[in-house]
Amino acid sequence: MTAVLPPRRTGLAPLLLPLLAGGLVMVALGVYGRAHTPTGFAIGPAGFSGAQPMKAWLTTGAFLLAFVQVVSALSMWGKIGVRIPGAVHRWSGRLAFLLTVPVAFHCLYALGFQYDVPRVLIHSLLGCFFYGVFTAKMLALPRKGLPGWTLPVLGSLVFTALVGLWLTSSFWFFTVIGVQV
């Protein structure tokens, strides 16, 4: 708290590190997904009939929380005239992120990065992109002197990626395979 306030100057420089780290995460996940021989098996949360329903439902949980994220973010920026405590945004985001981890783990460890059908290709790319942007956003959050649009843009990208991920996985699963637990 004794730190001297930096000059009120915004620039792209403070964004460099978060974006670089996010980019590295994206590439690393993709390379891992490709290089690692898929095991076809991974440990995950119990209580589901199989890995796919588990993933479909956890992703749906994160997907719903993502809407909480957007609404609470809009509130934070004073766009909807309702004050939602900041903790709602933080905790719904954390929960959503944690819900995606077992899903992504299964994807990458058991299945790997695949591109034999468009849905799977899009899903694989979005999955890597999602964690990259999420990392960038987390690293950008505590930094000062960022352009004002940084968090809204990164947040929107995270949200968009998650919606895309949900559409190419859970939505596909529920409509093609069927709604099952």
Partner 1 sequence: MSKLGPFVTLAVGVVLAGGLGVASVAANPGAREAAGTAEVVQPPAEATSSATPAENPAGNTSPPSTKPAPVRADYAGRVEGTRALIAVSIRGAKAIGYFCDGRTEAWFLGKVAGGQVELEGFGGAKLTAALGGGRAAGEVAVGGKKWDFTAPTVKKPSGLYRATAIVRGAKIKASWIYLRNPNGDGFTQVGTAFVGEQKVEPPALTPGSPVTINGGQVEAEDVDGFIEEMS
Q: How far is the CB of 46 from partner 1 (least distance, A)?
A: 4
3-state class (DSSP) for residue 143: coil
Look-up of token digits 């890995």: 51
Q: Give the binding-site size for partner 1 (rule: CB under 8 A).
A: 47
Distance CA 92, CA 98 (A): 10
According to the binding rule CB under 8 A, does residue 167 interact with partner 1?
Answer: no
Judged by CB under 8 A, the stretch of 65-73, 85-93, 122-130, 152-160 that binds partner 1 is 85-93
Residues 144-163 that bind partner 1 (CB under 8 A): none
In this structure, the dihedral spanned by the alpha carbons of residues 36, 94, 137 and 106, taken in order and rounded to 10 degrees, is 10
Distance CA 89, CA 137 (A): 14
Among 102, 145, 152, 164, binds partner 1 (CB under 8 A): 102
Among 16, 20, 50, 80, binds partner 1 (CB under 8 A): 50
Judged by CB under 8 A, the stretch of 8-16, 58-66, 114-122, 160-168 that binds partner 1 is 114-122
Residue count (the chain): 181
Q: Could you tell me the CA-to-CA distances from 136 to 19, 103, 167, 173 in Å, in that order?
A: 5, 20, 23, 29
According to the binding rule CB under 8 A, does residue 173 interact with partner 1?
Answer: yes
Distance CA 137, CA 134 (A): 5
Look-up of token digits 């719904």: 92
Would you tell me which residues interact with partner 1 (CB under 8 A)?
A: 37-46, 48-54, 86, 90, 93-94, 97-98, 101-102, 104-105, 109-112, 114, 116-117, 119-120, 135, 137-139, 141-142, 173, 176-178, 180
